């Protein structure tokens, strides 16, 4: 039987200045375990994410659309954002610290996480389709957003 090497995902870093010293956050794309945990904790926020994705180009999203989505997500779902960052940094317990990151560093981190996640699963189109399927399986966007979807 072939023994496969341990999978090591691609990462990108975000440098953050801190009173306690500079921090280099190594971020990776999200995997199924991450998405499942986020789905269980932040189901209504994922409805907001689905709306933001649609508003900013959906499956045809450009880099600018990705940035606009990340910015909207930071303001509309800060708890989801801090969880995204902590999970992507491979430290789910780092949520409270991630929530304290400066606004622009959170936007930068979410943009990187989205790009790495989309690349891992075959692009924005497949990711948006998968997210919509997950949301529909839970009763549709309208049930997650109080009838606004």
Cut 0.85: pTM above it: no
Most distant pair of Cα atoms in the chain: their distance: 53
Q: Residues 69-88: pLDDT tens digits? A: 777 777 777 888 999 999 99
Residues 39 and 141: beta-carbon distance below 8 Å: no
Q: Residues 33-71: pLDDT tens digits? A: 898 888 788 776 666 666 666 676 665 666 676 667 777
């Amino acid at each position: 039987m072939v023994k496969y090497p341990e999978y090591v995902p691609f990462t990108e870093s975000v440098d953050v200045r801190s009173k306690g010293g500079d921090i280099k956050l190594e971020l990776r794309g999200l995997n199924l375990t991450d998405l499942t945990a986020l789905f269980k904790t932040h189901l209504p926020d994922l409805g907001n994410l689905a709306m933001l994705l649609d508003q900013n180009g959906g499956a045809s999203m450009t880099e600018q659309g990705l940035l606009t989505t990340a910015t909207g997500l930071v303001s509309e779902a800060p708890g989801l954002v801090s969880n995204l960052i902590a999970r992507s940094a491979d430290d789910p317990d780092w949520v409270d610290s991630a929530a304290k990151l400066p606004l622009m560093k959170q936007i930068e981190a979410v943009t990187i996480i989205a790009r790495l996640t989309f690349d891992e699963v075959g692009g924005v189109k497949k990711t948006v389709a998968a997210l919509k399927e997950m949301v529909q399986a839970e009763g549709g966007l309208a049930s997650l957003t109080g009838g606004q979807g």
